[in-house]
Chain A
């Protein structure tokens, strides 16, 4: 083995260099726009451009329709996301530890990823024609995103070592306790992660709900979410309240991420 010559650049710096392309791309296409949004939220008008600092935020907070939209979005995240995680967890448990030949069923759950937005909205409109509550929107959200969560979770299950199960079975643990005690804590990082992914896709599901309600900018009260609020303000050239509400959403997201990480630190052994 020839002795490796001492490379001038320390290993740690080399790893940093790997980060550079992504960092450059992120700054150009994500960070600068984000700060542009911050700047827009601090000026009074897209055309007159004089600073009013927090007026926009105050105005947005007091706007009753922003509160309504914020409430609806929060409800969507607090109800639909857990429901999604639970259902995808149970399905992936059944898939991974059930019959071997049932594995092929997993393809069915990935299909919603594949269906185009227009057809999905059309099918939802035919199934839930005159349902007068928010359920269809939640179901649409779950239906659309269950595929990703199942893939993540089943992939996580594959990493668990079989020997762990043999040991548990030996001391007579029943199926349910095995899952509660061992499998779930083991895949807790993936669980947290799918929660984050689902929250991201809760913003992406806007296009389908928009078409489901027939392309109107003002859906029934219960499904008037933040995206509708922002979209309408965009059409009304009121970019300032849109920017302010955008900053609020990123704060909301920031809080959720922090909670997620804290939970994860407490659970990982």
Chain B
């Protein structure tokens, strides 16, 4: 009997150890590398040079050994290549004669031929370029143009080969990477992004070509000392590097290529730079040891196809031309680990620091703070989380008073934000990043049509009055701007702002007000809409949206919309970048805004969302703040403070930041920016901390649903709020 039991137990043990380690290692996507440390950083501004070009289409460019820039203007029917020197002055120019195909002795130019050029390369003053036949697309012609002799030669025409992605001229041969027809049919789908590429070499003199490598290559590059490096997909996922004429380099099989559409990589010293997502350039040692390094920089959005590394410079294409940055060897020692409280990590710049994000909940956060843990360097908290104010009161932060730029930044932000960032004994306990509050968006023209005077709309009574008039003239068929939960939340903060402990009469008054004016249908508390016409304000779901008031033809009159959060900043920056900014581009980017509903969007204006009751005479508006606190026990505190000062400096001279106080930093000519600024600059704004209306949501809902009496609700609310405050 005993032997039996012992054998069974031993079986358990072996099995559980086995089962826990054999779940197959999912191939790790390139994005979630384990970043070790940042080796290479972009230098300061002096080595940051921009070749300005007015261009309406992406360009192709190549760099020769002494750093001259050859770029190609894709004009209508022929290719003009200009050569720029190191400080942007024009050195040479070449007009390539029209590209066409010789058919039965007759030269037929391709009408919109220029678009079909794939890529160009340059070596000791000779330009090489390829083009695929624009119609048949089944063959690629290879040309060379000699800048000295100014003559153009068609070297070869390769059947069944197109979409050339890279040309590398190397000791007498041209290596082309493109899609090979016969390979691109049946490929194992789920493993990687291989589309049937292969590498073909073309002899410069004779023009005959042969396939050099077709075992699932995806990119190739040339080292400074003239060796061709190919990277190819490995069989079981991930990829490996291979020198052209030598044995395999050790495959690093735990790296799977990212899902970016146009893979590209360049060689820099003994390492290669894999360009991955917009913000990251990843440095990976070719010999495959898994120690990876990332350089994170503030490149707005690098064109994936188009970046080159030559003689210590990084060239990449931007909206206004080609930018050249010196790669310096300066080393940033630490990768900082930021814990974030909300689901998404904060959208902030990284200024060349390695930043990793990890989401944690309240319990883990308190455990980490109380145990003086050092596994998080910074915490990204928003003010409505229960823990935000406790960090200030208990001193679980590193004071940022003497960090450069932070003081300056706090003087530049809105006064109520500055006040929130400094605790009683003068310590700056956090760095505010962005604000978020509620605004009411209305369409001037349509409101005039229905003669609604928005000017006198600043309390909820006015709003309800307007909705009643709309209802009486049955102009509007459906809206859902008056939702009990939203009104409850706003009045809760306004009351608690006035007296920070439970005030029975205010709560009684608020509860009765909402009970009488706002209609509540059972079980519809958290913002989902109800479709019934039994109550005075028919609340019918507008397709795919919340908080909107639309007229019969679906045009928007009123719309509750977040103001100032990073969506606004993000879309604004993107709008600015392309210069052709105008209102509709901006609106299209402001979150999932469905254009059909915003007919004449040029007339959309923002005002402060009406508040429920005045506090000390002014109408009060609660604002949530997203901020960063520094863990005093972080091991790499000096690097963290360096990052904080870089972030503060960046925020300090941010245009349209929706957190800075100075009007001059906002493009006030755009009326929605002016409106948003006015909302955020309203003197009744205050940052609401910790105390969350969630505390008594469920009781209030029971009261609205007549499950408990008013007094019962008030007793419960009293116990909960006072317990929370005085525990």
A216 at the interface (CB under 8 A from B): yes
C-alpha gap A47/B370 in the complex (Å): 8
The smallest beta-carbon distance between A232 and chain B, in angstroms, is 5
Q: Are A237 and B366 in contact (CB under 8 A)?
A: yes
C-alpha gap A65/B518 in the complex (Å): 35
8 Å CB interface, A210-262 against B: 214, 216, 218, 220-221, 224, 229, 232-239, 241
B391 at the interface (CB under 8 A from A): yes
Chain B contact surface mostly:
helix
Contact of A48 among B390, B395, B716 (CB under 8 A): B395
Contact of A46 among B386, B396, B723, B726 (CB under 8 A): B396
C-alpha gap A104/B476 in the complex (Å): 70
Closest to B715 in A: A221
A264 at the interface (CB under 8 A from B): no
B interface with A by C-beta (< 8 Å) = 362-363, 366, 369-370, 372, 386-387, 390-391, 393-396, 632, 695, 698, 716, 719-720, 723-724, 726-727
C-alpha gap A237/B390 in the complex (Å): 7
A63 at the interface (CB under 8 A from B): yes
C-alpha gap A46/B390 in the complex (Å): 12
A162 at the interface (CB under 8 A from B): no
Contacts A65-B723, A65-B726, A218-B719 given; indicate if A47 touches B395 (C-beta within 8 A).
yes
CB neighbours (8 Å) of B727 from chain A are 63, 65, 229, 232-233, 236, 238, 241
A171 at the interface (CB under 8 A from B): no
Closest to B726 in A: A65
C-alpha gap A191/B491 in the complex (Å): 56
Size class of A's contact patch?
Answer: 20 to 34
Contact of A214 among B366, B370, B387, B698 (CB under 8 A): B698
CB neighbours (8 Å) of A234 from chain B are 363, 366, 370
The smallest beta-carbon distance between A132 and chain B, in angstroms, is 9
The smallest beta-carbon distance between B367 and chain A, in angstroms, is 8
Q: Are B394 and A47 in contact (CB under 8 A)?
A: yes
CB neighbours (8 Å) of A45 from chain B are 394-395
Assuming A47-B394, A64-B726, A235-B363, what are 18 further A-B pairs, CB within 8 angstroms? A45-B394, A45-B395, A46-B369, A47-B396, A218-B719, A218-B723, A218-B724, A220-B719, A232-B724, A234-B370, A235-B366, A235-B387, A235-B390, A236-B366, A236-B386, A236-B387, A237-B366, A238-B390
Closest to A221 in B: B719
Q: Are B372 and A46 in contact (CB under 8 A)?
A: yes
CB neighbours (8 Å) of A241 from chain B are 727
CB neighbours (8 Å) of A46 from chain B are 369-370, 372, 394, 396
Q: Are B719 and A236 in contact (CB under 8 A)?
A: no
CB neighbours (8 Å) of B395 from chain A are 45, 47-48
Contacts A46-B370, A47-B632 given; indicate if A237 touches B723 (C-beta within 8 A).
no
Q: Are B723 and A239 in contact (CB under 8 A)?
A: no
**Can you list 6 A-B contacts with CB-CB less than 8 angstroms, sorted by A residue number?**
A46-B370, A218-B724, A235-B363, A236-B386, A236-B390, A237-B387
Q: Are A237 and B698 in contact (CB under 8 A)?
A: no
The smallest beta-carbon distance between A194 and chain B, in angstroms, is 28
Residue with the greatest number of chain A CB neighbours at <10 A, chosen from B362, B363, B370, B723: B723
CB neighbours (8 Å) of B716 from chain A are 220
